[in-house]
Chain A
Amino acid sequence: MTLIDERIEEIARDIFADDELVMTDATVARDVRGWDSLAHVNFMYSLEEAFDVQFSEDEFVGFENVGALKRMLAAKIGAK
């Protein structure tokens, strides 16, 4: 696991209140208990806060799975 992977998983565990949650690249929202539209806002905002980035409207909802989210995040951090 890379550092980004670990941070994302840790934040997801916090936000979805499940300290045994495992996030793989193939994970999608419906795999995770409690990942509804409200929790999604909390999750995405927490990522913005933790990584000091901002998502565009498309990025906010547009990724197909956690792997895509990680790639998007890595690109954003790399671009800074």
Chain B
Amino acid sequence: MDERNRLWQPLRLRQLVSSTFIAQPTNGVDGPVSADLDLTAAEQAQRAGDYGRALALYLEAAMTSEHPPADLCLKIARCHDRLESPDEAFTWLARIVDASDGFRHWSAGASLLARLVAKSRPSTGKQCRVAVTGSYTVDQFAAMLPLAALSLGIDLELHSGLYGQYQQDLIDPGSALYSVNPDLIVVAVHEGAAELPRYSDTPDATIAAETSRWVALWDTVSRHSDASLVQHNFALRPESEFGHLSRGLAGSRFSMLQTLNRALSESATQNVNIVDCARLAAHYGTARWFDDRYWVRSKQAVALEALPLLARHTAAVIAARLGLIRKCLVLDLDNTLWGGVIGEDGLDGIQLGSDGIGEAFVAFQEAVLALKDRGVLLAVASKNNEADVREVFERHPAMRIKLEDISAFAVNWEDKPANLRAIARTLGIGLDALVLADDNPAERQIVRRLVPEVDVLTLPVEPAEYRRALSDYLGFEPAAITSEDRQRTAQYRARRAAAEMASSATDMASFYRDMRMTASTAPFDDLHMPRIGQLTGKTNQFNLTTRRFTAADLRAFSESEKHITRYLRLSDRLADHGLVALTIAEIVGDRLDINSFLMSCRVIGRTVEDHLLSHLCRDADRVGCKTIHGTYIPTHKNAIVSSLYERFGFIQIDETDDGITRWQYDLSVRGPIVSEYIEEVGEHDSD
């Protein structure tokens, strides 16, 4: 490798913090950059297994741009993985975060990261064990979280829950969520998880009840664990039932969701941080954020292409929570705070004010001041004559930032890295607390190379876009609210405590009762056969035997005298879940043998198994069977039911070499199994 490539030598994890809201210009296949990069030779070397040569060629290509495209970062990470240099692989993976907001890049990066950490964790980075639970299919979102965290200097060890289980996960102290002993729990919920009606005549009471349901959940978490919480709030769907009147109607779901979001933020204790999904979705565009095709396909409540954004922001909130926040914005001057060069153009010649491009610089200065007002320190690092610069600050009528706003002033002919070190010394903070805003790519590069601890904000080419670039930057995400706000929170908390008396399920039993679940069960019938076929064909997790059947097989079971089939439809106060579980049992002399027992993952953790077993007990009694036999056939996906029969008091009677266990339940000894929480509303017995 030649000298130039040093520019792209991997930085250490903690140092690679350039976390903008929307990524910099991208990217491989979908963007313009790769057109100028000829990677053929590198790809050939990679295909031939010469990863060293491939890597050298890729790195050479990467140094032709300030922000190498995501595809290239991925290729370089793969080569480093092959060459057994994991820390460099981690570094290049982290760069994907800044290079792209595309689902495919993030997904690919997340997959590779998951594979890498299975071998070894990064040698740097603040460790944090995170459990993700939610109300929709959160797997894709969760998988991206370690990647987003990596770019912020966090080694995030991920555990993600099953579909839609957030209530069970949080309420049950024995849930898998708590068993991993997380430092932090992310509650990724979607708009549908807000239990608000389409319209309420008493919106205040409705919102208060829903707020206290969430607060009670948070309190439950504090009782069960030391983990802190990161809670997603509710994005607002683009559809509006009452059109432009919705906002004026306090009882419309639209209005109530907004009020609920505010109430949740106000109720959030020290232990809870909110990710404002409503703001993110609006920024992103709610019509794209909600992609109902993917809700229908796989219960994806957030459009897949929006997940990188959501992961990036969730990780930023986690970083703030962990104290990984930047404290000081270091500003260049010429063409950063004003247009033109003061040393050449003079006080009258620089562009600043209400005219043309000068207005863009004023807007940027206002945005900088807003940061300062909430506690971010400001510093100046510029190659200039100090006297010229002081004159601008003191005499230019359009200057918004004044000298007294600046905590450290480094205006001289020293290089940027030296000045950044001096600023850190003056302020008594680490280099890793600094962020440089500079319009000059060469200055940015030299800083990245020589003081990699400093984060560098890449200002866009257009000064009119500076303001957005700054507000999209996530390194200043505040960790806590000010004391004034906290006082208001305390008042709110008192009100909330009162509301809480009236409501809320904080243990599993009352949660189940609160859900008001009803089931209707019946033997297999023609009407339901397609769904029954689908369920037996694709259920992997809650499936005791994972036996797959043809339509003819299923029909034969339903017509057989020797078999008892039963499907179950479940409803609760929120939704009709449809046909979600079934059993097939065979009468063998005086025992009833459970051939198949399976359930959609949508309703795991709702005591549906209790309900089906209670039916099997009744069936056994009706046909004169004294015992019920069950079989568990382990697969790599169904560990969740490995101890199901044991839980209900079955005795293990056999175990084969390949782990298949057989279980027996003696009705005369143990009595029938009872379904405590699900009311049968439409039972049709097979006789």
Mark A1-44 against chain B: 1 for CB-CB distance below 8 A, else 0.
00000010011001111010000000000000010011001100
CB distance from B633 to the nearest CB of A (A): 19
> Which of B115, B304, B538 is A37 in contact with, Cβ under 8 Å?
B538
- Tell whether A63 is near chain B: CB-to-CB under 8 Å: no
Q: Is the CB of A15 within 8 A of B111?
A: yes
Specify which chain A residues have a CB less than 8 angstroms from the CB of B111 in the assembled complex: 14-17, 34
Q: Which of B29, B46, B304 has the most CB of A within 10 A?
A: B304
- Tell whether B644 is near chain A: CB-to-CB under 8 Å: no
Q: Is the CB of A50 within 8 A of B104?
A: yes
Q: Is the CB of A17 within 8 A of B297?
A: no
> Which chain B residue shows the least CB distance to A46?
B104
Specify which chain A residues have a CB less than 8 angstroms from the CB of B112 in the assembled complex: 17
Q: Give Cα A14–Cα B105 distance, bound, in whole angstroms.
A: 8
Q: Is the CB of B104 within 8 A of A41?
A: no
Q: Give Cα A19–Cα B89 distance, bound, in whole angstroms.
A: 15
User: A-B contact count, CB below 8 Å?
Assistant: 57
Q: Is the CB of A60 within 8 A of B297?
A: yes
> Which chain A residue shows the least CB distance to B108?
A14
Specify which chain A residues have a CB less than 8 angstroms from the CB of B452 in the assembled complex: none
Mark B280-308 against chain A: 1 for CB-CB distance below 8 A, else 0.
00000000000001101110100011000
Specify which chain A residues have a CB less than 8 angstroms from the CB of B294 in the assembled complex: 41, 45
Q: Give Cα A54–Cα B291 distance, bound, in whole angstroms.
A: 12
- Tell whether B199 is near chain A: CB-to-CB under 8 Å: no
Mark B102-146 against chain A: 1 for CB-CB distance below 8 A, else 0.
111101100110110000000000000000000001011000000
- Tell whether B658 is near chain A: CB-to-CB under 8 Å: no
CB distance from B533 to the nearest CB of A (A): 14
> Which chain A residue shows the least CB distance to B304?
A45
Q: Give Cα A17–Cα B139 distance, bound, in whole angstroms.
A: 16
- Tell whether B74 is near chain A: CB-to-CB under 8 Å: yes
Specify which chain A residues have a CB less than 8 angstroms from the CB of B416 in the assembled complex: none
Q: Is the CB of A11 within 8 A of B104?
A: yes
Q: Which of A7, A46, A60 has the most CB of B within 10 A?
A: A46
Q: Which of A45, A46, A57 has the most CB of B within 10 A?
A: A45
CB distance from A46 to the nearest CB of B (A): 4
CB distance from B525 to the nearest CB of A (A): 25
Main secondary structure of the interface of B (DSSP, over half): helix
**In the complex, which residues 41-61 of chain A have their Cβ closer than 8 Å to any Cβ of chain B?**
41-42, 45-46, 49-50, 54, 57, 60
Specify which chain B residues have a CB less than 8 angstroms from the CB of A45 in the assembled complex: 103, 294, 304-305
Q: Give Cα A15–Cα B108 distance, bound, in whole angstroms.
A: 5
Q: Give Cα A49–Cα B28 distance, bound, in whole angstroms.
A: 13
CB distance from B69 to the nearest CB of A (A): 13
CB distance from A43 to the nearest CB of B (A): 9
Q: Give Cα A40–Cα B30 distance, bound, in whole angstroms.
A: 21
Specify which chain A residues have a CB less than 8 angstroms from the CB of B139 in the assembled complex: 38
CB distance from A7 to the nearest CB of B (A): 7
Specify which chain A residues have a CB less than 8 angstroms from the CB of B297 in the assembled complex: 41, 57, 60
Specify which chain B residues have a CB less than 8 angstroms from the CB of A60 in the assembled complex: 297
CB distance from A16 to the nearest CB of B (A): 7
A7-B300 contact, Cβ under 8 Å, with A37-B538, A41-B294? no
Q: Is the CB of A14 within 8 A of B538?
A: no
Q: Give Cα A72–Cα B445 distance, bound, in whole angstroms.
A: 46
CB distance from A50 to the nearest CB of B (A): 6
- Tell whether B312 is near chain A: CB-to-CB under 8 Å: no
Mark B92-107 against chain A: 1 for CB-CB distance below 8 A, else 0.
0000000000111101
Q: Give Cα A41–Cα B295 distance, bound, in whole angstroms.
A: 11
CB distance from A39 to the nearest CB of B (A): 9
- Tell whether B253 is near chain A: CB-to-CB under 8 Å: no
Q: Give Cα A34–Cα B118 distance, bound, in whole angstroms.
A: 15
Q: Is the CB of B305 within 8 A of A14?
A: no
> Which chain A residue shows the least CB distance to B29?
A50
Q: Give Cα A7–Cα B104 distance, bound, in whole angstroms.
A: 12
Specify which chain B residues have a CB less than 8 angstroms from the CB of A41 in the assembled complex: 140, 294, 297-298, 300, 304
CB distance from B177 to the nearest CB of A (A): 19
Q: Is the CB of A38 within 8 A of B104?
A: no
- Tell whether B14 is near chain A: CB-to-CB under 8 Å: no
CB distance from A64 to the nearest CB of B (A): 15
- Tell whether B78 is near chain A: CB-to-CB under 8 Å: yes
| Chain B interface residues toward A at CB < 8 A | 29-30, 46, 74, 78, 102-105, 107-108, 111-112, 114-115, 137, 139-140, 293-294, 296-298, 300, 304-305, 538
Pull 13 A–B residue pairs with CB atoms less than 8 Å apart, ordered by A: A14-B74, A14-B111, A15-B111, A19-B78, A34-B111, A37-B298, A38-B137, A42-B140, A45-B103, A46-B107, A49-B305, A50-B29, A50-B104
| Chain A interface residues toward B at CB < 8 A | 7, 10-11, 14-17, 19, 34, 37-38, 41-42, 45-46, 49-50, 54, 57, 60
Q: What are the 10 tightest A-B residue pairs by CB atom distance, in nearest-first order? A: A14-B108, A17-B111, A46-B104, A41-B298, A45-B304, A42-B107, A38-B139, A19-B78, A17-B112, A17-B115
